[in-house]
Amino acid sequence: MATVNSAAELPLAERLLRPWNAFWFTPRDASTLSVIRIATGLLALYWAASYTPDLMNFFGPEGFVPLADLQRARGSTFPRSILEFCNTSGAIWTFHAIGLLILASFTAGFFSRTTGLLSVVVVVSYMQRAPAVTSQAEPVLLMLLLYLCVGPCGAKLSVDACLRRKPTGGASRAKASECGDSRSWLATLSTRLIQVHLTIAYVAMVLAKLNDGVPLTNEPGTYHAWWHGQAVWWLAAREHSPLLDVSPLLTSNILLVNAWTHAIVLFEAGFAIFIWRPAFRRFLLWAAVPMWLSLAVITGLAPFCLLMLVGNLAFVEPAAMRRIAGRLAGRSATSP
Tens of pLDDT, residues 3-61:
444 555 667 777 778 888 888 999 999 999 999 999 999 999 999 999 999 899 888 88
- Could you tell me how far CA 193 lies from the centroid of its own chain? 12
- Can you tell me whether residue 336 is helix, strand or coil? coil
Distances (CA, A) of 150 to 110, 144, 146: 16, 10, 7
CA angle 214–306–93, rounded 5-degree value: 100
- Can you tell me whether residue 161 is helix, strand or coil? helix
CA distance 321 to 36: 11
- Model confidence at 216: pLDDT above 60: no
- Pick the more confident residue, 240 or 283: 283
Q: Report yes or no: 315 and 278 within 8 Å, Cβ to Cβ.
A: no
Residue-wise pLDDT tens digits, 51-104: 999 899 888 888 888 888 888 888 888 888 898 888 888 999 999 999 999 999
- Model confidence at 293: pLDDT above 60: yes
Count the alpha carbons within 13 Å of 200 in the hemisphere toward its beta carbon.
8
- Can you tell me whether residue 257 is helix, strand or coil? helix
CA distance 120 to 108: 16
* DSSP at 215: B
CA distance 315 to 149: 18
pTM: 0.85
Identify the CA nearest to 96 among candidates 146, 45, 140: 45
- Can you tell me whether residue 216 is helix, strand or coil? coil
Identify the CA nearest to 148 among candidates 178, 121, 117: 117
CA distance 263 to 259: 6
Give the count of beta carbons closer than 10 Å to the beta carbon of residue 157: 19
